[in-house]
Amino acid sequence: MEHATAVHPPVAHHVEHAPELGFWWKYVFSTDHKVIGIQYAITGLLFLLFGFTLMAIMRWQLAYPGQPVPVIGAWLGAGNASGGVILPEFYNQLGAMHGTIMVFMGVVPLAVGGFGNFVMPLQIGAPDMAFPRINMASYWAYFVGGVVMLASFFVPGGAANSGWTSYVPLAVTATTGQTWWLLGMVFLITSSLLGSLNFIVTIFQLRAPGLTFMRLPIFVWMQLVTAYLLLLAFPPLEAAAILQLMDRVAGTSFFLPSGLVVSGQVVQISGGGNPLLWQHLFWFLAHPEVYVLILPGMGIVAEVLANNIRKPLWGYKPIVYSVVFLGFMSFVVWAHHMFLTGMGTTMSAFFQTTTMIISIPSVIILTSLFLSLWGASIRFTTPMLFALAFLPMFGIGGLTGLPLGLAPTDIHLHDTYYVIGHFHYVVAPGTLFALFAGIYYWFPKATGRYMNDLLGKIHFWGSFVAINIVFFPMFIQGLAGMNRRLYDGGIQYAHAQETAKLHVPMGYATFALWFFQLFFIVNFFWSIKKGRQAPQNAWDATTLEWSAPSPPPHGNFPEPPVVYRDPYEYSVPGHPADFTPQFQSDKKA
């Protein structure tokens, strides 16, 4: 070989290396799963920041109804905020778009498109996703969907304003923004369809030799179940979106009942439609969707936890069986969002029962993770702090879900701030903290450098305190009967007077939370160039991604990896190091 190279150097060179790709092909229209993962992650993070900012504006209005928004109030446009004071119509747009952006364009793209794309193929020892070009198409469909959603703020009447749930008939009679919302959703659904089938095929087909299903890292299991949920639950929402689009554009009445009256006028339609049909189709997606929001986060927490307790996770098998069971069950609980729609007792009993059953696997998973901490000598790294905080935060979120799953209590709590508190505990200090843990944890793999620990810890403690001040009072407000989606925070209702005062500290905490994200943003960009250099196996971890160079080249592994053991062999007695990677054969050990 050396001889040949010496004789024909240019030819040999050409054969071995693909030509260097230009900037556009390398970073923009890349088919490399790692680049696509980072594209997804960064776009998702930007949307999270944007969606958070929308909410910060709303929080001002709730804390100080009718007072001009400071600093940015003047830029919101007279049609949205006259003299800097938010108008009710604009408040509704902010709310609807906050939910849509956070769920469909922030958390899921970051958790699935970002982490799933970047980490999963590495963890199963694959050179890339099974369909690299479909992967790229998935990102670009998401991107176009995002642009459509953002553009909708500038159409007459502004963005969608009927809530992220787009309940009918309200949404059908709403301004043009709703049509854009539906089109945007069609793109986002297409994106997730392309992504999810790619994930499933990759996990089934491209696992490295020796990597059996019961040796998969928990993160991969979580991504697999998530992909199934996306694949099978999103199409009904697509169907619903098509029907709503027909109602809005072609004048059909799928969701419009006969004799519908809007603003005192009988609407000229054929009628005969069923508004509840929308709710069924929507929640048939949207309940599995909440598991899409949580499972990747749980997977990240499991990885980070296992790495920092330096012993095997407690209950690998129960966790795996639970998540598969949970995946199935999540298709038969949707109507617990609809207890107040007048369903009969049989239906209601059915959905209460399934909801109670589905909380069992969640509890098993959470308990296993908690028990894993027992007797461990924990490394309190920044990712570990976020992962540890996830456990009680998700615990609060999950436990507060139980009273919502029982009709007698839900009748009081439905559509109050209690529900908002419930799901934000699961998604914000739950999933978002898990996602931060993942960023701090895999950053060295993506860049070859650690993120700064001090900045990371300030980010963690600041966010942890602030986020609890934002969300905990919601339970109190909700129990006191304060409704969600009220423009003035409920001050015109006698029963809400007392708890409406809580909006003020909640508002301040929101701005503090925003402030503490600056530590993360600075840390992120600073560490890319200046962070402490990390070795290939930055955390002395056991899973396959740590056997690839940092950052991994196109194709990931110089040698196709082989797997010899279970994913979390930490502190195995008789082994020299306190970790035995999956890719280490017994002969070498």
Partner 1 sequence: MDIPYTVTARPDTGLFNGKLGIWLFLASEVMLFGALFSSYVLLRVGAETWPRGETILNVWMAFLNTVVLISSSVTMVLAWAALKTNQFQKSRWLLISTFLLATVFLVVKYFEYTEKFSHGLLPSTNTFLAIYFTLTGLHGLHVVGGMIVMAYLFGPGAKMFRIAPERFTNRVEITGLYWHFVDLVWIFLFPVLYLL
Residues in contact with partner 1 by CB under 8 A are: 127-128, 130-132, 134, 193, 196-198, 200-201, 204-206, 231-236, 238-240, 242-243, 246, 250-254, 269-270, 272-274, 277, 280-281, 284, 554-555
362 is an interface residue for ligand HEM by CB under 6 A? yes
In the complex, the smallest distance separating the C-beta of residue 122 from ligand HEM, rounded to whole angstroms, is 26
Q: How many residues belong to the chain?
A: 589
Structural contact between residues 474 and 420, judged by C-beta atoms closer than 8 angstroms: yes
- Identify the residue among 74, 151, 266, 402 touching ligand HEM (CB under 6 A): 402
Q: What share of the chain is helix, strand, coil (3-state, %, to 5)?
A: 65, 5, 30
- Residues 140 and 491: their CA atoms lie apart, in Å, by 44
In the complex, the smallest distance separating the C-beta of residue 290 from Cu ion, rounded to whole angstroms, is 6
Strands 265-266 and 261-262: antiparallel
DSSP string, 520-567: HHHHHHHHHHHSPB--SSTT---SGGGGS-SSPPTTS-SS-----S-T
In the complex, the smallest distance separating the C-beta of residue 290 from ligand HEM, rounded to whole angstroms, is 4
For 168, 207, 337, the CA distances from 257, given in Å and listed in that order, are: 10, 52, 21
In the complex, the smallest distance separating the C-beta of residue 66 from Cu ion, rounded to whole angstroms, is 35
Residue with tokens 């969907």: 145
Q: For residue 160, what is the DSSP state?
A: -
33 is an interface residue for Cu ion by CB under 5 A? no
- Residues 474 and 462: their CA atoms lie apart, in Å, by 20
- Identify the residue among 287, 414, 422, 459 touching Cu ion (CB under 5 A): 287
In the complex, the smallest distance separating the C-beta of residue 106 from ligand HEM, rounded to whole angstroms, is 12
Q: For residue 107, what is the DSSP state?
A: I
422 is an interface residue for Cu ion by CB under 5 A? no
Q: Which is nearer to Cu ion, 315 or 403 (CB)?
A: 403
Q: Which residues of 368-392 are buried (b: 16+ CB within 10 A; e: fewer)?
A: bbeebeeebeeeebbbbbbbbbbbe
- Residues 412 and 415: their CA atoms lie apart, in Å, by 9
262 has which bridge partners? 265
If contact means CB under 5 to 8 A according to the sort of partner, which of ligand HEM, Cu ion, partner 1, none does residue 357 touch? Answer: none
- Identify the residue among 95, 401, 489, 561 touching ligand HEM (CB under 6 A): 401
If contact means CB under 5 to 8 A according to the sort of partner, which of Cu ion, partner 1, ligand HEM, none does residue 272 touch? Answer: partner 1
- Residues 394 and 237: their CA atoms lie apart, in Å, by 27
In the complex, the smallest distance separating the C-beta of residue 298 from ligand HEM, rounded to whole angstroms, is 9
In the complex, the smallest distance separating the C-beta of residue 554 from partner 1, rounded to whole angstroms, is 6
- Identify the residue among 300, 419, 467, 480 touching ligand HEM (CB under 6 A): 419
Residue numbers at the binding site for Cu ion (CB under 5 A) = 287
Residue numbers at the binding site for ligand HEM (CB under 6 A) = 165, 290, 293-294, 336-337, 355, 359, 362, 398, 401-402, 404-405, 410, 413-414, 419, 422-423, 426-427
